[in-house]
Amino acid sequence: MNGKLTTKNFQDLTQESENPVVIADDQGFIVYINSQFTQAYLWTDNLIGQTLADIIPMNFHDSHNLGFSRFRMTEISRVANHPINAMVITQDGRSVLSEHYITAQQVEGQWYFAAQLRPLS
Amino acid sequence: MLFTPIHQNLALVISELRATLGKMELALGSIDEAIVWTGDDGGIQWCNTTFDRLVGREHLAVLGNNLAHLLPLRRSGLALTDLEHPVQAVLAQTFTTGEYEFQQAEKTAILEISGSFVELKNGDRTAVLTIQDVTERKRIEEALITANQVMAIYLQEVDKVIGAAIAVENNTFQASLLTDVATREDKLGNLARIFTQMVVQLKAREQELAEAKDQLEAVLNAVPGPISWIDSGGVFVGVNRHLAADFNLSQEAFIGQEVGFLAENAKLAHFLNEFMSSEEKAASAIVDFEVNQIKRFYLIAAQKYQKGNAIVSVGIDITERKQAEESLRIAEENYRSIFENALEGIFQSSPEGRFLRVNPALAKIYGYDSPAEMIANITDISNQLYVDPDQRQEFRDLLDQQDSVSDFEYRSYRKDGCIIWTQIDARAVKDDQGNILYYEGMVQDISDRKCREDELRKQLEELRIEIDHSKREKEVALLTESSFFQEVQQEMSQVDLDEFWR
């Protein structure tokens, strides 16, 4: 769970990652979380189908939405493929500063976004 | 894959919204103004890349920070408190726009901030701030203001130079007018210095010129004759006091007038106009015009100057000389009449013995047809005219001694060889050194008188002889008888009869 966050394809992520992983589709809907994510942030599978806004602090919603939308226009991301620190909202409403390593990948012509997370607090 | 399918219609709407938001983000990210909005707590929810650059942070490092802390501002050098920060003012709905200082790493930026407050239906309160870095613009504005101030000062000093030029025109210029401007180190200062120097020199030249003009006017006015200056158009440029006084006008009354504007000086105008149109550089003429209803004569001497485009004329009043000449002409005429018509012979002859002038009467006395013939023919008066040439020498000796000779009688040859008696009254005309220039005098033919005198003398002689004879006969007896006979006879023999009868 505390291993180094690296670039992996989604298949590997879902099968091998020891860190919390969350995957969203190109509209920002969460399509996958692993057990480590559930363990770290207390969310259950009922998070699937919700938007990423549920796990992003309110002050980051606008930036997330606009950046997410810009990526769809340009396919250029300012947050992908390098570690960034940002808060993650837990099921019980806490904000947990976590290192994010975000990757984007097309599957059958559709973009998906995966974030490997490492809680820092 | 564990992906959950999404309702197709909702996905389409979201996709469109994402596209719109993407465009907006791109658009807002491409403008030069920084845009940032915060939540009700002042925490930054979004900003564009211009704002990231303004605060010098990575985008994610900006998000969530309190704007008042991330963008500390000053106003007129004083730091704003959180409550005074524009973001709080916007949230309090008391702010529209303002200008602030923001200390960056290497410089103080001037920010022009405008803000608007947004409150959503769900109660979210947002402060949207638009921030423009106007540092360069302000620098340019300040530079412009400074330049304008410099320009205003420059223009004021240009006005001083113009004022100085006007002062020169109005003859009120003083060097102190440009003292300030002349201290400038730029071209205007140089101009002021040169201008002042030129005007001062010009004033000095004007003063010298005025003094020279005064002197010239004094001289010209002292000249006892008219002086005038005329330009190429035949217009008076100036006249001296004498000319003005001749026509009872002021000197200024002539300036600008054509030379012929006075009917009285038409001859002068004619002369000057002809001279101007001629190629001559100098000319003179005697003209007359009436001065105070008296005709006066002037010798006008005119000279061109200014490459022939102007004339100065000087007049000398020669009225007295003209009058003297006229008197002399009349006298000469009278003399000539007397000389030509006199009954006495009149002559002038040289000491060498030639006639210089003779009148018709003298030519006639000596039998010549004309004076010219006589002058031409008599080349040696002593030998050609005098029967006794020694008398000519006697005549000259007398004149040497006493300058004049009266009633000098001598016998002369006429042209035809006849001898006549003539009587001469003459004088010697000498130069300053006493040398005889010529003789002049009058000659009378006294031949008739001399004949009468000879006849009378003969008659007296005959009468004396007759008387002597008669007396001698009557008294001879007595005488011969008296004791005095011898004494009387002796006495009679000693009597000079010519002297006795005279």
Q: Quick check: A104 contacting B, CB < 8 Å?
A: no
Contact residues, chain A, for B44 at CB < 8 Å: 59
Q: Would you call B3 and A61 a contact, using CB atoms and an 8 Å cutoff?
A: no
The side-by-side arrangement of strands in the sheet containing B108-119 is: B44-47, B34-38, B125-133, B108-119, B97-103, B74-75, B78-79
- Decide if pLDDT at B5 tops 60: no
Q: What is the pTM of this model?
A: 0.49
Contact residues, chain B, for A24 at CB < 8 Å: none
pLDDT the model gives residue B2: 43
User: pLDDT per residue over B153-198, tens digit each?
Assistant: 999 999 999 999 899 888 888 888 899 899 999 999 999 999 989 9
Q: Would you call B43 and A59 a contact, using CB atoms and an 8 Å cutoff?
A: yes
Domain-located, residue A4: no
User: pLDDT per residue over B351-364, tens digit each?
Assistant: 999 999 999 999 99
Domain-located, residue A25: yes
**Option in A31, A32, A72 nearest B19 (CB):** A72
User: pLDDT per residue over B246-262, tens digit each?
Assistant: 888 898 999 999 888 88
Q: Would you call A62 and B64 a contact, using CB atoms and an 8 Å cutoff?
A: no
User: pLDDT per residue over A46-61, tens digit each?
Assistant: 999 999 999 998 888 8
pLDDT the model gives residue B501: 66
pLDDT the model gives residue B454: 86
Task: Pull the structure tokens for residue B116.
Answer: 């608007």
* Angle subtended at Cα B261 by Cα B260 and Cα B267, rounded to the nearest 5 degrees: 30
Q: Would you call A62 and B6 a contact, using CB atoms and an 8 Å cutoff?
A: no
Q: Quick check: B308 contacting A, CB < 8 Å?
A: no
Q: Would you call A25 and B6 a contact, using CB atoms and an 8 Å cutoff?
A: yes
pLDDT the model gives residue A7: 53
Q: How many structural domains does chain A have?
A: 1
> What is the domain-level CATH number for residue A99?
3.30.450.20
HSE value, Cβ hemisphere, 13 Å, CA-based, for B58: 9
- What CA–CA distance (Å, rounded) separates B332 from B323? 14
User: pLDDT per residue over B91-143, tens digit each?
Assistant: 999 877 999 999 988 889 999 999 999 998 888 899 999 999 999 998 899 89
Q: What is the mean pLDDT of residues B440-461?
A: 90
- Highest mean pLDDT (candidates B166-170, B382-386, B465-469): B382-386
Domain-located, residue A15: no
* Nearest chain B Cα distance for residue A42, angstroms: 20
Contact residues, chain A, for B20 at CB < 8 Å: 69
pLDDT the model gives residue B7: 62
**Option in B2, B20, B44 nearest A31 (CB):** B2
Encode B22-74 in three state secondary structure. Answer: HHHHHHHHHCCCEEEEECCCCEEEEECHHHHHHHCCCHHHHCCCEHHHHCCCE
Number of inter-chain CB pairs under 8 A, A vs B? 81
- Domain region containing A99: 21-119
Contact residues, chain B, for A48 at CB < 8 Å: 2, 4
- Decide if pLDDT at B208 tops 50: yes
- What CA–CA distance (Å, rounded) separates A121 from B29? 33
pLDDT the model gives residue A3: 45
pLDDT the model gives residue B129: 96
Domain-located, residue A13: no
* Angle subtended at Cα B126 by Cα B122 and Cα B131, rounded to the nearest 5 degrees: 160
Contact residues, chain A, for B64 at CB < 8 Å: 57, 59-60, 87
> B52-55: long-range contacts (C-beta < 8 A, 24 or more apart)?
B54/B102, B54/B104, B54/B109, B54/B111, B54/B131, B54/B133
Q: Tens place of pLDDT for every residue, chain A, 121 residues?
A: 444 555 556 777 777 788 999 999 888 889 999 999 999 999 999 999 999 999 998 888 888 888 888 888 888 888 888 888 889 999 999 999 999 999 998 888 888 999 999 999 7
pLDDT the model gives residue A2: 43
Contact residues, chain B, for A59 at CB < 8 Å: 39, 43-45, 63-64
Q: Would you call A59 and B63 a contact, using CB atoms and an 8 Å cutoff?
A: yes
* Nearest chain B Cα distance for residue A8, angstroms: 16
Q: Quick check: A97 contacting B, CB < 8 Å?
A: no
- Decide if pLDDT at B202 tops 50: yes
User: pLDDT per residue over B314-343, tens digit each?
Assistant: 888 888 888 898 899 999 999 889 888 988
Q: Which residue of chain B comes nearest to A57, CA vs CA?
A: B64
ipTM for this model: 0.81
Domain-located, residue A59: yes
Q: Would you call B6 and A27 a contact, using CB atoms and an 8 Å cutoff?
A: yes
Q: Would you call A27 and B11 a contact, using CB atoms and an 8 Å cutoff?
A: yes
